[in-house]
Amino acid sequence: MSAVTAAMQWAAPWPLKFVFDSVLAHKAMPGVLAFLPSGGPSLLEALAAAMIVIALLLGLSDYLSNRLVATAGQRVVFDIRCRLFRHIEDQGLAFHQGRKSGDLMSRLGGDIQAIQSAVVTAVSTLLRNTLTLVGMAVIMLFIDWRYALLALALMPPLAFATRFYVERIKACQRLARRAEGDASSVAEEVLTSMTAVQAFGAEEIEADRFAAAAGEGLAAYRRAIVAQSQFTPLMTGSMAAATAVVVYFGARSVLTGHLTPGDLLVFMAYLRGMYSPVRQLAKLAGVLGRAHAAAERVVEILSVDEAVPEHPSPRRLGRATGRITLSGVGFSYPDGTRVLDGVDLEVPAGSRLALVGSTGSGKSTLVRLLPRFLEPSEGQVRLDGVELFDFALSDLRRQIALVPQEPYLFRASVAENILYGTTNLSRSAAVAAARSVGLDDVIACFPNGYDTMVSERGSTLSGGQRQCVVVARAMARNAPVLLLDEPTVGLDAELESVLLAALEALSAGRTTVIVSHQLSGLRNADQIAVLSDGRVAEAGTHHELMGSRQKYWRLSRLQAGGDLAGAAAL
């Protein structure tokens, strides 16, 4: 359709040429048009009808071209956005810890929008106008190559200027898109921490920080606008100069009889027709520069491959028994920080392992190895005697239910949050899961019970209420392995006792790994491992460790308010 549009623009001046040459000047029509009337009103009527037909075809093809390209462009951008989102989802925990979520949101939003503007609007404009320019240049050479070369003499320097300004605009847009990503990161950080911002009266500080980040983008955009503003008049001025030169020499050729008035009219129409596409292409420089900078940022993420590696021929796993084995497990972060070193643990199926130790001893890191959020630097982690890497990642994670210290809730009803990640979407399943762990009465007291709508990040619920929903979610998952990472921290005594009872019911018959600083709730653990500097300093039951009078004993005394001097040695 773009080609048809260009062809109609090529044909548009010719009926008017024949009006001047064959109707008014009574010259014979070319042989290929001998089927038309020889002259007079009949020829004029035929030429007028041709003008109408050309105009109708031009309008129809232009409409179809814009519609089809825009529709295809929207689908392409939709595919890019979905592919980018899925790619971000597939990346490992280290990727997300090292990236600003606001910047990723900027790439999913603003950068994709910039690409969309180019694909939807610029592609059809670029294609149609390029075809128009090339066709007109060829026809001008056919009419009179001397004047055509005269008209086209400015094209090489214009092409050089175009490249210069497009690169300049692209560089400015690249800086602007990066600054917008930084501003989005600041906004996301502040909006998700508004309680702290307002509590410390830091609104002005954060507003200045946001303004500084957004101001860098503004400065870059202004430089891009200046470059665009210089480029457009340069193009239009050059075309105007070329038009003046051709009019001067063309009119002299008509006076000397080398050209007919119709030839000059077609020539000038083409020259004027080239003027509009050149202007439109000049205006596209900003759009294409912005899209190019945005595409670079999207490709940068798509080219990152930090996804959790999958075995090429993974072993399928129905339901595990839950036996966990860690052999010589070590872990270091990319910056070289050593977190775990030679950890050996055996957790029989259905038993409970408690991990205790000071902050930074590696407890949470060890728990993150089990669902393969992190990969061990050395050693092996096995489930039912099989190394975790040998399982399909989806199969492995179906075996695990996680109750984190910071509960994650989504903008949905309480029932939908409980059933998150399960295939059973019936409300009764959510009620049954909560009832089985003794939390039905707690959730029934929510404003609308299980139908209570949860706001983003669960901010409309208290911390204890959010944790109740997460524990019910873990029950609904019905996985053989349960990971509890400080599940009762920060709760009042009454709700803590309710949750401890719920967790006791939840862990029954499941292999449970619990991280906790509250040692009073770990007396019934089958095994307690005390981590210190990434190593297992001691392991055993509560009574065995209390009898050894080492780190666990001192930590217990400290929490009980006993021998503080002895506990200080911990």
pLDDT of residue 389: 92
* Cα Rg, the chain, nearest whole Å: 36
Identify the DSSP state of 11.
Answer: H
* CB neighbour list of residue 125: distance below 8 Å, 6 or more residues apart: 280, 281, 284
Mean pLDDT is lowest, of 4-13, 20-29, 362-371, for 20-29
pLDDT of residue 195: 67
Average pLDDT over residues 363-367: 90
Residue 26 binned pLDDT confidence (cut-offs 50, 70, 90): low
Asked if residues 414 and 452 have their Cβ atoms less than 8 Å apart, the reply is yes
Q: How many residues does the chain have?
A: 570
pLDDT of residue 563: 47
163 or 515: which leads in pLDDT: 515
Q: Of the segments 73-82, 127-136, 221-230, 324-333, which one has the largest average pLDDT value?
A: 324-333
The proportion of the chain whose per-residue pLDDT surpasses 90, expressed as a percent, equals 14
35 or 137: which leads in pLDDT: 137
Task: Show the CA angle centred on residue 355, arms to residues 349 and 358, nearest 5°.
Answer: 175
Q: Would you say residue 564 has pLDDT above 50?
A: no
Average pLDDT over residues 337-366: 90
Per-residue pLDDT tens for 255-302?
887 777 777 777 777 777 666 666 666 667 777 778 888 888 899 889
Q: Would you say residue 507 has pLDDT above 60?
A: yes
HSE toward the beta carbon, residue 321, CA cutoff 13 A: 11
Cα dihedral sign for 554, 556, 559, 563? negative
Helix (H) or strand (E) holding 484: strand 481-485
Residue 143 binned pLDDT confidence (cut-offs 50, 70, 90): confident
- Helix, strand, coil abundance in the chain, percent, nearest 5: 65, 10, 25
Domains (range + CATH), the chain: 2-302 (1.20.1560.10), 324-567 (3.40.50.300)
526 or 15: which leads in pLDDT: 526
Q: Would you say residue 66 has pLDDT above 50?
A: yes
Q: Would you say residue 346 has pLDDT above 90?
A: yes
Average pLDDT over residues 3-27: 77
Side-by-side strand order, sheet with 338-347: 338-347, 324-332, 378-383, 386-387
Residue 565 binned pLDDT confidence (cut-offs 50, 70, 90): very low
Task: Name residue 484's beta-bridge partners.
Answer: 403, 514
pLDDT of residue 233: 78
The proportion of the chain whose per-residue pLDDT surpasses 70, expressed as a percent, equals 91
Residue 310 binned pLDDT confidence (cut-offs 50, 70, 90): confident
Average pLDDT over residues 78-89: 89
pLDDT of residue 567: 42
Residue 568 binned pLDDT confidence (cut-offs 50, 70, 90): very low
Q: Would you say residue 161 has pLDDT above 90?
A: no
Per-residue pLDDT tens for 409-441?
888 888 888 888 887 778 888 888 888 888 888
Q: Would you say residue 569 has pLDDT above 60?
A: no
Q: Which two tokens stand for residue 273?
A: 């027709």
**Quick check: pTM over 0.85?**
no
Average pLDDT over residues 145-172: 74
Average pLDDT over residues 327-355: 90
